[in-house]
Amino acid sequence: MKIKISQILGLLGFSLLTVPAQASFFYVPFDQLLAEAELIVTGEIIHKSYVKKETLNNWSVRNHLMGQMESKSKIKMGVFTDYELHVDEVFKGLIKVDIIDIEESGGCYDGICATSSADYYYEVGDRVFIFLKERADRPYYRSTRKGYTAYFLSDDGRIYRNPDKVKIINGSGFERTHSPKPTTLEEIRTLLAE
């Protein structure tokens, strides 16, 4: 019985469709995450929209004739998800408004969808705890490390990542950790007060 390459690839492709997308991140100590963030807040997502925007892609290439790295850039159109977050509490940083705009790359716009397993997929009404940096080119914030620093917040003050989308791996053993350390807002307040 002969099996064609196209049949094997078809079966492989079909089996991949049944595997849920999940991002894997290497463990980063919580104090390092605190240091990287310009703004750390809790709040509620009050608006979500998908938009198409120009974005600047930067990359470096080696000039083999000169032996040096050269920076290249190109403006392209991209799909983004914009959130409005009503801020409840500021843990780090200063803001003078109650509502901030957060931008996440990816989403669906005009029949075009671009997603990443590292995104956080907030919905209107979600209560969140998030580490942010301000974008240099637009008046938006973004998560410092995508889904790794974008948490959900439970009614009892516990923070957690979307367990279906984020997996944390520790070093070469790739052990799975189920929750961030610390796990509550009270623990974070104590840590920041030290």
Report pLDDT digits (tens) over 39-73.
999 999 999 998 888 766 666 777 777 777 777 77
Q: State how many domains the chain has.
A: 1
Closest by CA position to 130, among listed 103, 110, 105: 103
Residue numbers of the domain that contains 158: 21-193
Domain membership flag for residue 100:
yes
Domain membership flag for residue 144:
yes
Does 162 have pLDDT greater than 80?
no
Domain membership flag for residue 12:
no
Domain membership flag for residue 124:
yes
Closest by CA position to 169, among listed 10, 18, 21, 26: 26
Specify the length of the chain in residues.
Answer: 194
Report the distance separating Cα 118 and Cα 167, nearest Å. Answer: 10
Name the pTM for this structure: 0.72
Report the distance separating Cα 162 and Cα 43, nearest Å. Answer: 17
